[in-house]
Chains A and B, each alone.
Chain A
Amino acid sequence: MLSSLPRRAARQLRGVAAPSLRGAARPLSTAPSDAPEEEPETKKLTMVAAINDALRIALKTDESAVVFGEDVAFGGVFRCTMGLRDEFGEERVLNMPINEQGLVGFGIGLAAVGSTAIAEVQFADYIFPAMDQICNEAAKFRYRSGAEFDCGGLTIRAPAQAVGHGGHYHSQSPEAYFAHTPGLKVVYPRDAYTAKGLLLSCIRDRNPCLFFEPKILYRSSVCDVPTGDYMLPLGEAEVLSPGEHITCVAWGAQVHTMARACERAAAEGVSCEVIDLQTIAPWDMHTIRDSVQKTGRLLVTHEAPLTAGFGAEVAAAIQDACFDHLEAPIARVCGADTPFPLAFEKLYLPDELKIYDAIMRTVQY
């Protein structure tokens, strides 16, 4: 009875079609403004290669930039920093001891004296030893000095989210802990293209940023990525496909799971507006609000546990902004309130079918 999920968006989500159409229009161009607008040169890249490319551009365009973390000098466990030490030298691409608190503290100091500090925490699950440095030092540096000092040049990259066999300590999505600390920006790419553009924005942003890389996409996300220097705006959600009946919001790898659920619902005549939040803090409430005022329904889905996950914040703010527009309770489809399990990963995760079922329940409410 109703339009199905636009094919272009669906293809793009699978990383098959060229997102360069979108990419050409959106990056903040570094070309002179009077230059004729040209389609930028693109190359098929994995997310690992796109991140490597972003780091190379950051090191090339900013002589104060330093990349550091456990094992980054020989390429890192996921190979995101391959070749950078050979190209930029051991003073700019350096290994750290296995001490997350120490390496983040080092990054804060480096950024405080004016360098661009690009830290890697080997897994987001191991970011917790650095919690004090991130939440008490990095996040409050500007505020507590009345803007006399800041560590805005700090970016912390960390692989996050489920990977199929990661168990308790290689699977978590810790965004909500950090979104609860004002002063930090928290960002999730969904593919190679957004990874490069959002990472360069984080590196150049004048606030400490956490950049969580969905590790399952490192090699599975392949798409056309502009070879040049481009940035994608922080704090902006992206509407991947317009829809009429329900707004569906996710970030990171979950965007793909949610998009498949939306395709399944489209076959039943339900038109979903698919939105990638991209930045968790500060999140783009206005795009979600405008969408929900149109559709009257909202579903939020994330891999992290339900309770006090970021979906709770989205739901609370949207019921406040859209109370008169809502046709149904806001649905949250999230991880269970358990540690991330090894044997039960498939049951724990908010999979395609759980999201599909929640979409149908919400539109039939």
Chain B
Amino acid sequence: MTYRIGAHSTSDDDSAYRNPHAPEQGWDSERAYWEARSPIIRFGRYLQSLGWWSPQMEEDLRKATRKQVIKSLNDASAAPKPNNAYLFSDVYDEPSWLQRDQEAALNAHLDKYPEHYPAVVR
């Protein structure tokens, strides 16, 4: 059995499907019950018992990682849109005639109606 600790996404209200009660007595919530069984949390505790890891190191790592993820997210949001040639690349190692022909047809279309595709990067 596995258990997902977090919601599916920021738009997911997990209270709709998460049981408000723990499956057994002795736990504050369903989440607390499963966290006690989490192999990641347990492995962290094991490393701490060996003296190889500490609550402080854990908190520092979490803070630094969170910062790094948020920075990456902001950098990506601020980056310009990719060139539309990337629509057709990486389907195969080399585009086949189908991707090449369709790219040419798309470019001809964009040339014909440029005012309708202002956000396109070429």
Contact at A347–B99, with CB atoms within 8 Å? Answer: no
Set A71, A337, A339: member contacting B102, Cβ < 8 A: A337
Shortest B39–chain A CB gap in Å is 20
A71 interface neighbour in B17, B113, B119, Cβ under 8 Å: B17
* Residue contact A307 to B84, C-beta cutoff 8 Å: no
Residue among A74, A344, A346, A354 facing the most chain B CB atoms (10 A cut-off): A344
A338, B99: Cβ atoms closer than 8 Å: yes
Nearest Cβ on chain B to A232's Cβ, whole angstroms: 33
Tell me if A326 is interfacial: C-beta within 8 Å of chain B. no
- Neighbouring B residues of A338 by C-beta, 8 Å: 87-88, 91, 99
Closest-CB distance, A68 to chain B (whole angstroms): 15
List A residues 40-83 near B (Cβ within 8 Å). Answer: 71, 74-75
Interface size classification for chain A: 10 to 19
Provide the residues of chain A in CB contact with B116, threshold 8 Å: 353
Chain B residues positioned under 8 Å from A348 (CB to CB): 87
Tell me the A290-341 residues at the B interface (CB within 8 Å). 306-307, 336-339, 341
A interface, over-half SS: loop
Given A353-B116, A354-B109, A306:B102 Cβ within 8 A: yes
- Cross-chain contact of B106 among A75, A343, A347 (Cβ < 8 A): A347
In this complex, how many residues of chain B approach chain A with their Cβ under 8 Å: the count is: 21
Using CB atoms, name the residue of chain B closest to A73. Answer: B17
Tell me the total A-B contact number using a CB cutoff of 8 A. 45
User: A357: CB under 8 A from chain B?
Assistant: yes
Min CB distance, B101 to chain A, in Å? 9
**Bitwise interface map of A from 145 to 175 toward B, beta carbon under 8 Å scored 1, else 0:** 0000000000000000000000000000000
| Cα separation A354 to B112 with both chains bound (whole Å) | 11
Task: Tell me if A337 and B84 are in contact (CB < 8 A).
Answer: no
Residues of chain B within 8 A (CB-CB) of A307 are 98
| Residue in chain B with minimal CB distance to A95 | B17
B70 within 8 A of A: no
In the bound complex, what is the Cα–Cα distance between A90 and B116 (angstroms)? Answer: 51
Q: How far is the CB of B13 from chain A (nearest CB, A)?
A: 10
Cβ–Cβ contact A74 & B17, under 8 A: yes
In contact, B81 and A347 (Cβ under 8 angstroms): no
A307 to B87, CA, bound (A): 16
Contact residues of A between 71 and 103, Cβ < 8 Å to B: 71, 74-75
Given A338-B87, A341-B87, A344-B84, does the pair A353, B106 have CB atoms closer than 8 Å? no
Q: Report which B residues bind A (CB closer than 8 A).
A: 16-17, 81-82, 84, 86-88, 91, 96, 98-99, 102, 106, 109, 112-113, 116-117, 119-120
